[in-house]
Structure 1
């Protein structure tokens, strides 16, 4: 087993995990607005999608998809559409929050007291949280390209099967650790209450991230 290769993969993947992107954005959105169990399900969904990307890259399926103009175009269009839909959904929640705040009368606000963290948010089940995380990563063409590039550069034909299996397991565990950590920390009631007044800004930033990534994908297709 090539431990130096695994260490290199672990460091690169860890840096990619903590960088801002759709995975981080959806994790923050759900963890700060939903129940802890839903946030943890989202973390599992993202991590399993990363495992799928890893396996597809190691087996050459991702390379086959990227080599086919039709398949890769379909993946890019589908991924961009999903990310844009998520982005507009986040921006729509900003509009709902602002509209709700505007219609509340001063008297109602005085007697309402501290708002509940989920007052303006539609509750999500664990299943919905899981698939939100799964689809956000799995349908992101940039994630597929990242793993394909990473493994093409580091996993040569000489690398043994046990190292490949260890690499897939390592990336899965690192993903679970990072997104699980975010889920546990950001879903604390005290943290959610503290961030409640910043939710419109958080949703707005998350919406912009999703739409920007979707626009970049479409721009790449047109370029």
Structure 2
């Protein structure tokens, strides 16, 4: 099985990834601000459900199969890039608002909150990159079953992601109030987020398929 040292290193890598702003964080913050902690928590459950799909796919080797099929890889890559560009446009377009900006929106049903959280993470390029680049480095066939190792690492990543995102959901309202008292920083945050997302989209589009 995986040694304690390597497990801790993997958990640290998972923590760094989840702390990096991305589609999941943006969606969860916007839902928690608009619809309260309950709405944010239901959305988070959808995000975690999508992580289970990623984990099972990675553990079963489906991700490697995807990379072996050039057309499938290209479709996923460009879909992810287009999604990031759409998020960037939502942040930068005239009249747009930061996810931390308090607002009144028609509340979504629990089913829709869960579904949107699931879809946001299922199409999240950052999650795919994590499982393609970091995940395989900690799996060693000589230590036993690859599938079991994959599940252990996946459950670790889910635990880290759930803990961090739960804190984000619980604190989103407080952060939103701080930005409300500092409108200049609210605008800065929105533009920084938009340009970062656009940069990630360009980087993803330029990514070459692994041999």
Instruction: Give TM-score, length-normalised by structure 2.
Output: 0.78
Structure 1 gap ranges (5+): 98-115
The residue that corresponds to 1:118 in the other structure is: 103
Offset at residue 122 of structure 1 (A): 5.8
Distance 1:91 1:52, change over 3 A: same
Farther-moved stretch of structure 1 (122-131 vs 136-145):
122-131
Offset at residue 181 of structure 1 (A): 0.9
1:29-79 Cα offsets, whole Å, 9 max, x none, are 443444222222232233333332222111110011011100000101111
2:194, 2:112 → 1: CA distance?
Answer: 19
The residue that corresponds to 1:219 in the other structure is: 206
The residue that corresponds to 2:37 in the other structure is: 36
Mapped contact 1:42–1:129 kept (Cα < 8 A): yes
1:147 to 2:131 alignment: yes
The residue that corresponds to 1:180 in the other structure is: 166
- The structure whose RCO (Cα within 8 Å, separation 6+) is larger is 1
Distance 1:86 1:124, change over 3 A: farther
Offset at residue 96 of structure 1 (A): 4.8
The residue that corresponds to 2:2 in the other structure is: 2
Q: Give the number of the structure whose alpha-carbon radius of gyration is greater.
A: 1
The residue that corresponds to 2:73 in the other structure is: 72
Offset at residue 214 of structure 1 (A): 1.6
Structure 2 gap ranges (5+): none
SS at match of 1:158: helix
Offset at residue 174 of structure 1 (A): 1.3
1:127, 1:213 → 2: CA distance?
Answer: 30
Query: What is the aligned residue count?
Result: 199
Pairwise CA RMSD: 2.7
Offset at residue 88 of structure 1 (A): 1.5
129, 133, 153: which one aligns with 1:167: 153
2:168, 2:31 → 1: CA distance?
Answer: 10
Offset at residue 84 of structure 1 (A): 1.6
The ranges of structure 1 where at least 4 consecutive aligned residues each deviate by more than 6 angstroms after the TM superposition are none
The residue that corresponds to 2:85 in the other structure is: 84
Offset at residue 149 of structure 1 (A): 2.1
Farther-moved stretch of structure 1 (165-174 vs 74-83):
165-174
The residue that corresponds to 2:197 in the other structure is: 210
